Structure 1
Amino acid sequence: MSTPPVVPSPGARRHRPAWAGRNYTLLTGAAVVTQLGSHGALIASAFAVLDAGGSSGDVGLVAAARTLPLVLFLLIGGALADRLPRHHVMVAANALNCVSQAVFAVLVLTGDPQLWQMMLLTALCGTGTAFFSPAAEGMLLSTVSGEHSNRAFALFRMAMSSAGVGGAALGGAMIAAMGPGWVLAVDALAFAVAGGLRAFLKIEEVPDRAPGGGLLADLREGWVEFRTRPWLWSIVLQFSVVVAVVGAAEAVYGPLVAREHLGGPAPWGVALACFGVGTIAGAVLMMTWKPRRLLLVGTLCVFPLALPSAALAVPLPAWGLCVVMFVSGTAIEVFGVNWMSTMHQEIPEDKFSRVSAYDWFGSVSMLPVATALAGPAEAAFGRSTALWGCAVVVLLGTAAVLFVPDVRRMTRRPHLPVAGSPKAAATPDHSTPDRAAL
């Protein structure tokens, strides 16, 4: 005689919020795993170069090798992600990241890695990121409903930041105790696990997308969406400068200041972890705070990104740097949630990945140049002067964006479905004035 199946109660069946569906949960879990590995790997790659006898210029070249493929392949990655099942693109990119980091780890652990080898492998990792990022952002945006978007994005980013805190702190400690090779190996394993989780994403939960007219036509459509929104292209232009100088300061000058003044990789890892703790604090704040002026509040919170460069220029002791990193992390997380909420509110679902690709492309386009020039700038002007210059550029670039009317006036629309979804198309919108009239 067969035993009747046990039917769980509704309370036992669901252990997560009603808005956190299967795809959202898998995306969040996979992102946590990836962050645990990648935050330590970023530190490990810099110290692998230094341990191999490289200079600050060599660290900059390896960092530039990671970001250059982003500039080259992001737009293609965005167009493909709006054409193909996004989770397939994500899994393939994770596989490439896994292989490249595994080979990098083997070279560091077993021999004397050459600069060209490290540049090539980090370039492959950057190529994977170029295809992964637009697909991942598009998948996340299409998974969340308008009503719960602020909370969902805040929770997602809080989970990523928490993993980043652990990854940076653990990575710094592992480098000090075991060397950078093992941290790179852990990163490769993390990509394998995350890719496995993303393979279970259900594409049928994503709204259908009409077939496009070809890759170039898709890119043109994405460009039209991008260039016709002043709030979008102006903030992306701002971040092309901000990301470049902040990235150069942290990827090139940070490890050098840590080695010479803070005591090595472990304190630098703790400082980066404090930035992550700050982003957690910012995400917790954004779980309940929904600013009406999305982009105005977000842009004001970019100003504190000048603080870490200034702290390294002084340089502050490790505890002071940790405080500065915490403050800047909190502030930038407020921007990040407001930015994702704005994208979710304003961009049609079938163009999420392409617009995200233009966003990423603009934001990282100057990073390879900045990281490659960080070493020569230090030689020409001195490290302290170069770092003060980074801080000033962040302040000026952020102040300039506040002159854009759409940035000051963009407001949150309550309970808006995903732009471009069937529900959104059936819901008339009377809450936003014609942008051309602003």
Structure 2
Amino acid sequence: MRLWTGTTASGLATWALPFVLGLAVLERDLTAAGLGLALAARTAGFLGAVAIGGVLADRHSRRAVVLWSALAAAVSAPLLAAGLGRSLLLMAGAALLAGAGQGACRPAFQALAAEVVEPARRQQANAAMTLAVRASTLMGPSLAALLAAVLDIKALLLGIGALWLVAALVPGRGAKTLPAGADAESRTPQRASFRREFMEGVQEARRHPWFVAGLGALTAVIATGYSATGVALPLISRDRYDTEAVLAAATTAYAVGALAGALVIARWRPRSQGWSALAGLAVYGLAPLSLTLPVHPAVIVAAYTVAGLGIELFNVPWFTATQREIAPDKLARVSSLDFLLSYGLAPLGLALIAPAITTFGAQPVLLTCALICFLAPAAAALAPTARHFTRTPTPPGSPGV
């Protein structure tokens, strides 16, 4: 419960920052250019820290990495409040610090979950954590809007800092997991360089064909389908339907679908877990596909609901399989590789989609993105051991994972 509370607080704080900064733009405390700079700085901080955080979480106590990285993110909140309307440079630096804290936290939390939760209950635990984050995403805008009616933007930023304090102080300690056959004295001699230790995580990832293939598919879907719908959906809602209601309804439907997916996967154990998860990832292609034709808005809403459902049918088994199959002493580094690639290429996709739509038109770009979303998971399903997300194929006749 303590781990769930800390993870939920970090997820809510991560989601809330861009939303609150967006409110600052509406209140004219921040310009649109300033918002873009702050969010870019946060992304840079995340990408710069996630690999380092993975190495540190495997090198030291995962609980300590969560503590110090979340405290760094907490410190960024008053700095953001101090810079709001006064110093864009201070805000950019604070956003960089916030992203670094967030990036270092993610692989550490992922590895800490494997230490705290017994293997038989990890899928339920991962589903519970993603359920909390999706519920926050669904209810957060309304709650933030209500709070904004009685609190100013600086107070909301301090509230984000308080959430990071919860993420820092509440989670359980876990236990440092050593490599097989190692003892406490084996950690004290000379350490390898950060680069070498990170490359050890890369080598560990390559030992699992299902992980490499699945990560490639996930990265492709996020960089194309997710980016395309993030850019195209607002434009289509405005230009084709002449209302913001389609944007709001589709975004809400995605969160509702994800909530449903987390509830389903908390108890569902498909016989071919890997194939089922990759099928869930593939249905995200319905989101960009639904935007290609002048269909009724209900079709778009339905497509986004199914896409949200599918993404959680992938996410939860993916995290659970990673915690089960990856060597415990390299889990944080492999998780950092996961976040680095899947999240790291998303800004590139977002940056390229708009020029592509301008050059080639929305329909061919969206169709291409939908096709990639369908084909990338299908190709990943052909990888050895992908059917069950295990290092060795499950013997014939044995029950699914």
Q: Please state which band the TM-score falls in when normalised by the shorter chain.
A: 0.7 to 0.9
CA deviation map 1:32-60 (0-9, x unaligned): 333344434445556767977759xx988
Aligned to 1:18: none
Tell me how far 1:272 sits from its aligned partner.
Answer: 2.7
Q: Distance in 1 between matches of 2:307 and 2:36?
A: 23
Q: Distance in 2 between matches of 1:312 and 1:48?
A: 30
Contact 2:62 2:174 in 1 (8 A): no
Contact 1:308 1:328 in 2 (8 A): yes
Tell me how far 1:391 sits from its aligned partner.
Answer: 2.0
Tell me how far 1:327 sits from its aligned partner.
Answer: 1.2
Aligned to 2:62: 86
Q: Distance in 2 between matches of 1:297 and 1:257?
A: 31
Q: Distance in 2 between matches of 1:412 and 1:351?
A: 15
Tell me how far 1:400 sits from its aligned partner.
Answer: 1.8
Alignment counterpart, residue 291 of structure 1, candidates 260, 263, 270: 270
CA deviation map 1:185-205 (0-9, x unaligned): 536523423433532434255
Q: Distance in 2 between matches of 1:43 and 1:385?
A: 31
Tell me how far 1:300 sits from its aligned partner.
Answer: 0.8
Q: Distance in 2 between matches of 1:65 and 1:316?
A: 38
Tell me how far 1:386 sits from its aligned partner.
Answer: 3.3
Tell me how far 1:301 sits from its aligned partner.
Answer: 0.8
Alignment counterpart, residue 161 of structure 1, candidates 134, 137, 158: 134
CA deviation map 1:111-147 (0-9, x unaligned): 7x86x87765544433222211111111112211112
Q: Distance in 2 between matches of 1:153 and 1:180?
A: 33
1:81 is aligned with what amino acid?
Answer: A
Contact 1:143 1:206 in 2 (8 A): no
**Larger mean Cα displacement after TM superposition, 30-39 or 145-154:** 30-39
Matches within 5 A, 1:228-239: 228-239=207-218
1:199 is aligned with what amino acid?
Answer: L
Contact 2:3 2:172 in 1 (8 A): no
Aligned to 2:72: 96
Q: Tell me if 1:310 matches 2:289.
A: yes
TM-score normalized with structure 1 length = 0.74
CA deviation map 1:338-374 (0-9, x unaligned): 1122112211222210111111122223222212223
CA deviation map 1:208-254 (0-9, x unaligned): 57527333442232122111211111111222221112342354444
Gapped regions of structure 2 (runs ≥ 5):
397-401
Matches within 5 A, 1:192-211: 192-203=162-173, 205=175, 207=177, 211=187
Matches within 5 A, 1:29-44: 29-43=5-19
2:162 is aligned with what amino acid?
Answer: A
The 1:254/1:54 distance shift into structure 2, 3 A limit, reads: farther
Contact 1:249 1:309 in 2 (8 A): yes
Aligned to 2:399: none
> Residue 171 of structure 2 aligns to a residue in which SS?
coil
Q: Tell me if 1:391 matches 2:370.
A: yes
> Residue 408 of structure 1 aligns to a residue in which SS?
coil
Tell me how far 1:166 sits from its aligned partner.
Answer: 1.2
Contact 2:61 2:176 in 1 (8 A): no
Contact 2:281 2:377 in 1 (8 A): yes
Contact 1:97 1:128 in 2 (8 A): yes
2:378 is aligned with what amino acid?
Answer: A
1:166 is aligned with what amino acid?
Answer: M
The 1:318/1:132 distance shift into structure 2, 3 A limit, reads: farther
Q: Matched residue pairs, number?
A: 384
Q: Distance in 2 between matches of 1:412 and 1:217?
A: 24
**Larger mean Cα displacement after TM superposition, 374-383 or 36-45:** 36-45
Alignment counterpart, residue 278 of structure 1, candidates 251, 257, 263: 257
**Larger mean Cα displacement after TM superposition, 276-285 or 131-140:** 276-285
Contact 1:68 1:126 in 2 (8 A): yes
1:338 is aligned with what amino acid?
Answer: P
> Residue 302 of structure 1 aligns to a residue in which SS?
helix
> Residue 407 of structure 1 aligns to a residue in which SS?
coil
Matched residues, percent identical? 26
> Residue 406 of structure 1 aligns to a residue in which SS?
coil
Gapped regions of structure 1 (runs ≥ 5):
1-24, 414-429, 434-438
Aligned to 1:139: 112
Tell me how far 1:151 sits from its aligned partner.
Answer: 2.0
2:289 is aligned with what amino acid?
Answer: A
Q: Distance in 1 between matches of 2:20 and 2:293?
A: 25
Alignment counterpart, residue 303 of structure 2, candidates 302, 324, 329: 324
Contact 1:90 1:135 in 2 (8 A): yes
> Residue 203 of structure 1 aligns to a residue in which SS?
coil
Aligned to 2:385: 406
Matches within 5 A, 1:43-192: 43=19, 45=21, 54=32, 65-104=41-80, 110=85, 122-171=95-144, 173=145, 182=153, 186=156, 188-192=158-162
Contact 2:72 2:101 in 1 (8 A): yes
Aligned to 2:314: 335
Alignment counterpart, residue 362 of structure 1, candidates 341, 344, 369: 341
Q: Distance in 2 between matches of 1:258 and 1:34?
A: 31
> Residue 156 of structure 1 aligns to a residue in which SS?
helix
The 1:107/1:198 distance shift into structure 2, 3 A limit, reads: closer
Contact 1:295 1:410 in 2 (8 A): yes
Tell me how far 1:335 sits from its aligned partner.
Answer: 0.9
Tell me how far 1:65 sits from its aligned partner.
Answer: 4.5
2:307 is aligned with what amino acid?
Answer: S
